[in-house]
């Protein structure tokens, strides 16, 4: 097949299974569909982004708008130095979190005006949107329970449960608002059932495999 670059994002609350499904999807696309794949994430998909990730998740408390600007800075660097160059090389990019996370966490979760976040997303992305976004739909308590990290938790994971519930409701609202782009997947299923569903949509929506 002639490969064209595709930008595929995985979203969901903590412990929803994004890392697990990205790993399986990358192996499937490389080994069975025979396309080149790049796996990346936000925050932290660049060298600068790794420092921003440390500040965002593990260092001192910060104002909500400061947090928003740091996520935007991470994204601007990521789009320009990793995502767009990979897509220009016709690579399939699998990304752990993107702009919907900012709407879910900073708008629905923190309460920052949507318009502000959309403007910043436009500046940071230069208009790059995903071709397909898989939203791994899992209730907050199951996700936090699954996450190994919740024993101590990073700065955002330690936010109260109400915050994470607002984030989860935010993802549900976004999936309703953008049904052509966001595919909800029931993340209470087994790892293999979820992967089968993802492979079905990759074939149906993007012509990848099947
Ligand atoms: N954030 C933000 O606020 N604004 C933004 O714009 C962006 C991000 C981009 C990044 O966290 C934080 O940044 C995040 C949002 C915020 N907030 N928090 N906290 P991260 O990248 O460090 O971590 P994460 O994205 O929250 O993911 P995670 O905790 O690593 O979970 P995951 O990748 O979704 O799940 P996993 O590692 O694949 O699986 C978790 C465990 O469950 C593991 O033991 C698996 O073996 C198990 N698992 C996976 N699937 C299943 C199924 N189907 N059944 C049973 N068990 C399973």
State how far Cα 32 lies from the chain centre: 24
Q: Residue 5 falls within a domain, yes or no? A: no
Mean of pLDDT values over 18-23: 98
3-class secondary structure for 109-153?
Answer: HCCCCHHHHHHHHHHHHCCCCCCEEEEEECCHHHHHHHCHHHHCC
User: What 8-state DSSP symbol labels residue 41?
Assistant: E
Q: Which domain holds residue 66?
A: 10-206
Q: Residue 4 falls within a domain, yes or no? A: no
Residue 129 to residue 185: CA distance in whole angstroms: 20
Q: Residue 1 falls within a domain, yes or no? A: no
Q: For position 156, which CATH number holds?
A: 3.40.50.300
Number of domain units in the chain:
1
Q: Residue 99 falls within a domain, yes or no? A: yes
Tokens 């293999």 map to which residue? 192
Ligand 1 centroid to residue 17 C-alpha, Å? 6
Residue 31 predicted with pLDDT over 70: yes
Residues 6+ apart with CB under 8 A from 182: 11, 100, 133, 135, 174, 175
Return the pLDDT at 105. Answer: 98
For ligand 1, atom 39, name the residue with the nearest CA.
Answer: 17
Residue 49 predicted with pLDDT over 80: yes
Q: Residue 188 falls within a domain, yes or no? A: yes
Q: Which of 27, 145, 147 to mutate to test the pocket of ligand 1 (most atoms within 8 A of CB)?
A: 147
* Cβ of 181 less than 6 Å from ligand 1: no
pTM reported for the whole predicted model: 0.97
């Amino acid at each position: 097949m002639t490969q064209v670059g595709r930008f595929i994002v995985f979203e969901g609350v903590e412990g929803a299974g994004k890392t697990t499904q990205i790993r399986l999807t990358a192996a499937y696309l490389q080994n069975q569909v025979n396309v080149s794949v790049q796996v990346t994430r936000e925050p932290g998909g660049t060298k600068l982004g790794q420092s921003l990730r440390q500040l965002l998740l593990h260092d001192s408390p910060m104002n909500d708008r400061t947090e928003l600007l740091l996520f935007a800075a991470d994204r601007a660097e990521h789009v320009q130095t990793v995502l767009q160059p990979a897509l220009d090389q016709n690579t399939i990019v699998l990304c752990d979190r993107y702009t919907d996370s900012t709407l879910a966490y900073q708008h629905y979760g923190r309460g920052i005006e949507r318009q502000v976040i959309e403007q910043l997303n436009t500046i940071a992305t230069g208009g790059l949107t995903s071709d397909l976004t898989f939203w791994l739909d899992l209730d907050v308590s199951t996700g936090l329970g699954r996450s190994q990290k919740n024993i101590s938790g990073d700065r955002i994971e330690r936010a109260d449960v109400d915050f994470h519930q607002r984030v989860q409701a935010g993802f549900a609202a976004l999936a309703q608002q953008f049904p052509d782009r966001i595919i909800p997947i029931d993340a209470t299923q087994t790892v293999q059932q979820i992967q089968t569903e993802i492979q079905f949509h990759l074939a149906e929506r993007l012509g990848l495999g099947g």
